[in-house]
Structure 1
């Protein structure tokens, strides 16, 4: 079986012939490939129009066309996903849309993106997705299971069962009760001296069935990842922990029964999760590169949320910090003392609905992406940021595209208005409003501004646009380091 492993750019327009060539399919194979990926929501099709070729984003008015239309070839195909996909012997590595350089295989960038996806998944406490899709499209996610098992091993080491051993004059903890009851003591000057001390220590059982089974599964998982040419992109060494195979542990039913019995007596949470994952791995009995209609994935169809999280962490978001904990050059103003245990997000006013003899406050209100307050000497600066996952084109001689809509611009102005009282009460003179967009360049790009004159006339700050090197932000995010906002030159 020949493995076909290729890089694909998110949101790029591909024709059917492009996909046939990239993944080496015949006509029937590529139709099946397209239909399957569309059913899992990672591939969409749009009408074949000249203007679509120039688009770097899938806009709301890009109506997806149905399968029967797509099969005619009169369309473009768009991957709405970032991460790794496996479909039989095809490995699809979808990198973010802002990587616009001519490099065909951005391996270094993709390795960093995978690490960001992993950290993001942990920060959001997302659990392992053992299955993808629903109903007839339901598919066992072997890739996610393999990565979970390998990552768990690197974090927690091998599964062990231990036993307590009692020794005489060992180097473990002395069992004084047993020593006094069962040992002979010499008495000198009314003090007992014991020649033999009973001691206890805990040792791992190296021949334990489940330790050996765990080593076998890990070795097999590591080999599958290597065979799929994904060990490099996930930055994992090949594991060779044992020469045993699953056949050495009995047939599938026997192994699953042993795991089931172990679960009944194992109360450690990590071990329970590990045993259940091994149970799933063995019970499904599916290899990663098997030819099937199923799909495995490690990534997201909502990479904009990842970008928002990265910006929030790196630019020190204060939105959910209690007012009493905000570090400013002045104490919390008197008018906000009764709300000192509220956060910045809580003080934004909510819509009030009034009817006949009824007044109701809405549950939702404006929600900024992130707010930063920078204290410089005796001066505070208030920053309103919105993380926008866009590839904006704002150059002379080219038409504007890839830009946030009027609703996004209007809301950004309103965020400043929502905090007008707070800003005034704390004598904050400097307020800056900014869209943060990713770029594959090495330097921060001062892209320009966007304004609505009637809102500018109210004294509100126009919105500046900064393209931030994604690599720089990811480096900070992965080591939990904040970035100097002054670098934005707002």
Structure 2
């Protein structure tokens, strides 16, 4: 399958997309229209889509626009998505927007990092809404997602484990329900004694149908990811020779019927999950090979900003909900979290009974806050910004947080003043953290706001940090300390 690498949110003219996909306008237009309808692709605001009915010559001037407006070739498109899309025999890899390099090596590295981060956060902690094949976040049951889940589970837990049970009086686990139901005990005082308890013997069936079906499906899943060129990107091995092939197991309809029947008598948690994945894979594989040009398989998200935010929160050990502050209230000492020390807005009013007040249900919540425990302790407040930030003398600033973001970052410091006093900390370090493809940390400067500076507030530092450092620390479960940022 032809493989295309594009960058999230980068603007692409139609001519550029045709060149990347190696197709003419008439050949590419149906795929672009399908990607637009699936919300993987979008028109840059202000442009007009001119895909539709194309004459045999491929003349774009004869194309009827999908949306109202003049059909202009100046229209631009962008992918609002990070991950892998498979459609109409194209494998489209969309790298995060901070990957501006045209180097194939850099793109491959950050594609692997992005997909591994999605697997870590999306599948294990359910923090990231993955992009479903129908364009809806969270509804993921397509061929890529299911194949990935099956292969990951198999490499971690091995093949389907079928357990058969046999009742008897030999050595084994006592089945007390059947023993009490079928036998009369002899009492020694108040204690019942059963001389011939019913035993339950369990044995593993190494050649059960479901076990063989599991191996066949896992090998088919591995073949599918290999055909799409995704095994290397996903850093997974190719599985071969573990099964004679899924086609030898029988027609899909019969396999689905057998899975449904077995599901009624299966009570093991993992086995039931596997049966659901078997069904999803067979249905997805059937859709992929029968729908053709109308099919869409994805693994990714349109919310990669959440990946960056959660990754930074993990590696810098967000302590917002950690009990770190000891306070005394009404003579009782208790340990409170930083979140509990942030005041809520309070509404005041009056009625027939007099004055009253009501607290708001929400308040300021910083992205990442933790205590820097060193010879000069500080309260560190971070805001992970998924922006392509740039500050140049002649070009000015671009990709910068807005006024509201700057104001909130200052307010976080003010809101946490009580926590700082309770911890006997005098210093606050405030920082915007941007992703970068470089190594280490780059000091991009700082942002200040005169009237807040005059109130004694710390300026907000600007740091671009290595995506590799952040993601690898998350994968390894290690922590980055505040001195990494050189604040």
1:259 matches 2:273 = no
Out of 236-245 and 444-453, give the one that drifted further: 236-245
Structure 1 pair 253/339, CA: closer, same or farther in 2 (3 Å)?
farther
| 1:113 CA displacement | 1.8
SS of equivalent to 1:102: coil
1:155 matches 2:153 = no
Please give the alpha-carbon distance, in whole angstroms, between the structure 1 residues aligned to 2:225 and 2:261.
Answer: 30
Q: Please list the CA deviations of residues 101-135 of structure 1 after superposition, one character each: whole Å capped at 9, or x if unmatched.
A: 23135212221221111111134336997953279
Structure 1 pair 114/244, CA: closer, same or farther in 2 (3 Å)?
same
SS of equivalent to 1:221: helix
SS of equivalent to 2:237: coil
Aligned to 1:182: none
Aligned to 1:376: 374
Contact 2:108 2:233 in 1 (8 A): yes
Aligned to 2:416: 419
| 1:426 CA displacement | 2.8
Counting only pairs closer than 5 Å after superposition, residues 118-133 of structure 1 correspond to structure 2 as 118-125=119-126, 132-133=133-134
Contact 1:88 1:289 in 2 (8 A): no
Please give the alpha-carbon distance, in whole angstroms, between the structure 1 residues aligned to 2:37 and 2:227.
Answer: 27
Structure 1 pair 487/131, CA: closer, same or farther in 2 (3 Å)?
closer
338, 342, 349: which is aligned to 1:344? Answer: 338
Please give the alpha-carbon distance, in whole angstroms, between the structure 2 residues aligned to 1:200 and 1:348.
Answer: 58
Structure 1 pair 87/386, CA: closer, same or farther in 2 (3 Å)?
same
Please give the alpha-carbon distance, in whole angstroms, between the structure 2 residues aligned to 1:283 and 1:174.
Answer: 40
Contact 1:31 1:71 in 2 (8 A): no
Structure 1 pair 306/289, CA: closer, same or farther in 2 (3 Å)?
farther
Contact 1:87 1:289 in 2 (8 A): no
Counting only pairs closer than 5 Å after superposition, residues 341-490 of structure 1 correspond to structure 2 as 342-357=336-351, 359-377=357-375, 379-490=376-487
Structure 1 pair 430/95, CA: closer, same or farther in 2 (3 Å)?
same
Aligned residues: 440
Structure 1 pair 348/355, CA: closer, same or farther in 2 (3 Å)?
same
Please give the alpha-carbon distance, in whole angstroms, between the structure 2 residues aligned to 1:128 and 1:420.
Answer: 34
| 1:467 CA displacement | 0.5
Out of 264-273 and 348-357, give the one that drifted further: 348-357
Out of 247-256 and 303-312, give the one that drifted further: 247-256
Please give the alpha-carbon distance, in whole angstroms, between the structure 2 residues aligned to 1:142 and 1:72.
Answer: 36
Unmatched 5+ residue regions in structure 2?
A: 48-64, 175-198
| 1:168 CA displacement | 13
Counting only pairs closer than 5 Å after superposition, residues 109-188 of structure 1 correspond to structure 2 as 109-125=110-126, 132-133=133-134, 141-163=142-164
SS of equivalent to 1:224: helix
Please give the alpha-carbon distance, in whole angstroms, between the structure 2 residues aligned to 1:157 and 1:128.
Answer: 28
Contact 2:327 2:333 in 1 (8 A): no
Structure 1 pair 289/254, CA: closer, same or farther in 2 (3 Å)?
closer
| 1:164 CA displacement | 5.1
Please give the alpha-carbon distance, in whole angstroms, between the structure 2 residues aligned to 1:140 and 1:447.
Answer: 42
Unmatched 5+ residue regions in structure 1?
A: 50-64, 176-198
Structure 1 pair 435/288, CA: closer, same or farther in 2 (3 Å)?
farther
Structure 1 pair 115/69, CA: closer, same or farther in 2 (3 Å)?
farther
Aligned to 1:17: 15
- Aligned residues: CA RMSD: 3.1
Structure 1 pair 241/232, CA: closer, same or farther in 2 (3 Å)?
same
**Structure having greater relative contact order (Cα 8 Å, sep ≥ 6):** 1
Counting only pairs closer than 5 Å after superposition, residues 169-318 of structure 1 correspond to structure 2 as 202-284=202-284, 285-287=286-288, 291-318=292-319
Please give the alpha-carbon distance, in whole angstroms, between the structure 2 residues aligned to 1:392 and 1:40.
Answer: 29
Aligned to 2:186: none
| 1:279 CA displacement | 1.3
Contact 2:85 2:299 in 1 (8 A): yes
Out of 263-272 and 404-413, give the one that drifted further: 263-272
> TM-score w.r.t. structure 2 length?
0.82
| 1:369 CA displacement | 0.2
Contact 2:130 2:299 in 1 (8 A): no
Aligned to 2:84: 84
| 1:252 CA displacement | 2.6
Please give the alpha-carbon distance, in whole angstroms, between the structure 1 residues aligned to 2:295 and 2:247.
Answer: 25
> TM-score w.r.t. structure 1 length?
0.82
| 1:380 CA displacement | 2.4
